[in-house]
Chain A
C-alpha cells in the first residue's frame, strides 16, 4: 500500500487535515466528527490541555489561558512592529524570550508559538491516526504565500515538535489550486486565487499546463484578515457604549471575548441576512446603575461601510500581483475564492467587478487548502502522480551593503528551488572574519526589510586585503527556506558560517519540546482505567469475531453490507486505541461497540441470519 501522508492547513482560525485516500483527496473528520478544527489551545482550570472546539468553547470563561491566532506570532521577533500590533488584540499574555522571540504564558509555562502550533498539529495527527487506524508521520503543511523565511522555519519546527516528518511546506493559495486542478491535467489555464482567511490575505496568479502548476506571481498581507473585520464591529459597538457609560469594554478581557464572539457571529450572519440583532446582556456593571446590557442592530450596509477600506487593501494587493505576473484581470481563466471571509457578499461583488467574471464554484473555500496539501504530499511520495508544482519565493532576498543599502541577490517571484552567489572580498589585511546581514523584502534601504539573520564568516585565511574572495551561496529550498554557505574561491575550502541573530528555536530546544510532546501523548494514554477498558475491549473483539460468520450471512439476506462496514471501522479504531493506550477514546469506542453489538445480535436473532431464508 502507498505510504500514508497527510496534508494540513494550519490556519489562523481553523485547521483542516486531509489525505489522498484511494486515489481521491478527502478531508479527514476529527474525532468529534467535524471537518474543521478551531486553531485554539487552552489550559483548562483542571490543568488539562484542550485543543480545538473544546478549547474554543471555554474561551469566554478562561480568556487568559486560551491561545487563539497563534499563527500571528509565528516566526516574528518580539520587538517587531507587526508582533506588537497583534499583541494589543490578543487576550493572553506574551513576553519576550531570550532571543527577542515571543513566549506565550500559559499557566506555569512560557511556550514558543511553535510549541503551541505543535499542539494543534498533534491533535490533527491523532485525528488522522484514529481515522486510518495506523500511525501517521509524514505531512505537508501549508503557510500563507507571503510568509517569510522565519515564519516558514517556525512552522516546520512546529511540525517536528509534533513528531511529524514535514516533507514540504507549501503555500496556501498554491495548495488550493492543486485541489482545483486535481484530475484536470489536460487543462491549460491561467487562474488566480484570492485567499482571505481569519488573519492573512494572499493573492496568487498561476498557470496550469499538463499537470504542471506554475506560480507566476504571488503577494499578500500577513496582517489582514477576517479578524480585522470583527475588530471594526467591536469598535462600532464599544465606542458608543464608552460614550454613554464611560466604560471601555475592550479593556475587560471577559467582555472583550464576548464582544469578539458576538461580532464574528453577526458578521457571518450578515453574509446571509440583511440585518442582525446583537444582544449582550450583563456585559458590564457600575456601582451606580447596576448591570449594563448592550443591544444593537447591525445592517449589512453598515458593515460594508465599516470595512470598505479593508476590501480596498485586498484589491490593491491584487493589482500589484497582476502587474508582477504581467497579466490583466479579464485575461484570467478562473478566480478561486478561498478562506471563510470570502463568503462576505461584498467581497464576492468586489472580486466579480475587478475580474469581470463570476468566481469559480469549483472548490470548497474551507477545505481546498488542506486537500491541496494532501495532493502535494501524494505527488511527492507516490510514483503514479504526473503533477508537478513550480512555486516561487514571495520576497526578494539580499544583503546589507555599505551605507545601509539593500543589495538584491534573488528577486521575488523566482521559481524555487533557486540559488545565487555573491562574492565577498576582504577589506583589511589579515581579516579573519566578516559579518553578512541577510534580509528579505523590496525596499532599497536594508533596515526597512525583514531581518532574516546575521551570519558570521569565521576563520578566514590570513592574507593581504583583497586577496581573499569568499563565494557566499544563498539557497532557497522548495519549502521557501533560506540557507547560506560559503567557499573560499582561491582554495576551494568550505568556510564555516554561524547564525548570530535568529529568533528561531535551537536544535536542542526543538528536540526537548518534541520529547515533552511525545511524553504528553503517552501520558494521555496512561490512564488508571486503561487496563480495565482494554480487557473489556478485547472481550468485545472476541464476541464480534464469534458473531461474524452469522453477520456475513445476514448481510446477504437483507441486512446489507453497511452495518458490517461500520462495525469494522469501529473495531479498527478501537484496536488502534488499545495499541496506542488512548484510554478516553477507548471508553467511547467501547460504548459504541456495545451498542452495535446489541443491535446486530438483535438483527441476527430476528432471523436475518438464519440459513435457508
Chain B
C-alpha cells in the first residue's frame, strides 16, 4: 500500500485528489452534463472523448484501487465510474451524441451551449468545405480519377474510425462517382448506409422503450414507427408499435403493426399471439382463430392460445 495515499486520507487508501473529486461529484454531479462529467467541453472531437474517458477510467475504475481500504469511497467510485461509462456510451456515437445535444441544450452551461452551436456551425462549414473538395476532385480527368477515388476512400476510413459516419458516407459517394468499378468502394458504402439506418433505428427504438416505460403511449408509438421506417426488417419496432397502440386503446392500428411483426418473423409466437388477441378484440373471429391455429400448429401445448381459441 502506498504510504503517501495513506497519510492523505486518514486510514483511507485513495489519493486525496480523487477523494476530493468524488465528494464534489456527490454534491453537484447530478447537475453535470455528460461533457462535464468527463471533464470536457462540448466542442471536443470524437477521439478526444474516448481519450478523456479512458483517462478518467484509470482514476475512477474500481479495479485501479483493487482491494484497497476505500471506506465510504468504495461505492462512490463504482457509482461515478458507471455514470462516466454511460456518458461515454452516448457521446461516442455521432448519432446519439447529436441527439443528446439537441435534447439537453437547455441544461448545458452557457459556454457548452455556445460550443454545441459552434460545433454545429463548424460542422456545417466543414461539410461545405468537404463538398467543395469533393466537387473539385470530381472534376479530375483521366487516370488521376482513380487516384483521387483512392484518396477519398482512404479518407472515408479515417472518418468512419472517428465515428463520423456521415462524412464517411459523403466521401464514399464521391469516390464511387470517380471510380464506379472499384468493388470495395460500393461495398463499403452499402455497409455504412445500412449501419447508419440501423443506428438511427436503434436510437429510435430506445426512445420508444423509454416512453413505453413512462406509459407515454403516443410518444412510444411514434418512436417505434420511426424506427420501423428506418429499418423495415426490424420486428422489434413493429411489435413495439403494436404494443403501444394497443395500450393506447387503438386495436385497429395495433393489429396492423402486429401483422407486420408476424410477417417479418413468422415463427415468432409472441407477435402472433398479440395479433390474435387484437383481432379478437375487434370481433374479427375468423382471422383470430386462423392465427391461433397456426400457433397451435407450431406449439401444440400452448395453453394461452388454446384457451383463447376455446373462448372464440
Contacts and interface: CB of A to CB of B under 8 A. Distances in A.
A212 interface: yes
Given A207-B50, A323-B195, A380 B67 contact: yes
A444 B236 contact: yes
A415 B85 contact: yes
A389 interface: yes
B270 interface: yes
Given A444-B270, A445-B270, A380 B58 contact: no
A303 B51 CA distance: 46
B63 A330 contact: no
A388 B50 contact: no
A328 B57 contact: no
Contact of A212 (B54, B78, B268, B270): B54
B149 interface: no
Contacts of B64: 388
Interface string B152-183: 00000100110100000000000000000000
Contact of A380 (B2, B66, B78, B235): B66
Given A390-B57, A403-B270, A417-B82, A328 B160 contact: yes
Contacts of B93: 326
B89 A414 contact: yes
A388 B188 contact: no
B307 interface: no
Interface string A447-486: 0000000000000000000000000000000100000000
Contacts of B270: 403-405, 444-445
A589 B81 CA distance: 51
A390 B236 CA distance: 30
A214 B274 CA distance: 41
Contact of B58 (A212, A326, A408, A445): A212
Nearest to A376: B63
Contacts of A380: 63, 66-67
Contacts of A388: 57-58, 61, 63-64
Contact of A383 (B1, B57, B61, B89): B1
Interface residues of B, number: 36
A478 B89 contact: no
A383 B15 CA distance: 13
Interface string B192-235: 00010000000000000100000000000000000000000001
Nearest to A445: B270
Interface in B84-134: 85, 89, 93
Interface string A381-408: 1010010111000000000000111001
Given A212-B57, A417-B78, A418-B82, A328 B188 contact: yes
Contacts of A390: 54, 57, 61
Given A388-B63, A408-B209, 15 more contacts: A209-B51, A211-B58, A331-B160, A331-B161, A380-B63, A386-B58, A388-B57, A403-B274, A417-B78, A418-B82, A444-B235, A444-B239, A444-B270, A445-B268, A478-B62
Interface of B: 1-2, 50-51, 54-55, 57-58, 61-64, 66-67, 78, 81-82, 85, 89, 93, 157, 160-161, 163, 188, 191, 195, 209, 235-236, 239, 268-270, 273-274
Interface of A: 167, 190, 207, 209-212, 214, 323, 326-328, 330-331, 379-381, 383, 386, 388-390, 403-405, 408, 414-415, 417-419, 444-445, 478
25 contacts: A209-B54, A211-B58, A212-B54, A214-B50, A323-B195, A326-B93, A328-B160, A331-B157, A331-B161, A380-B63, A381-B66, A381-B67, A388-B57, A388-B63, A389-B63, A390-B54, A403-B274, A415-B89, A417-B81, A417-B82, A444-B239, A444-B270, A445-B268, A445-B270, A478-B62
Closest 4 CB pairs of A and B: A380-B66, A212-B54, A415-B85, A445-B270
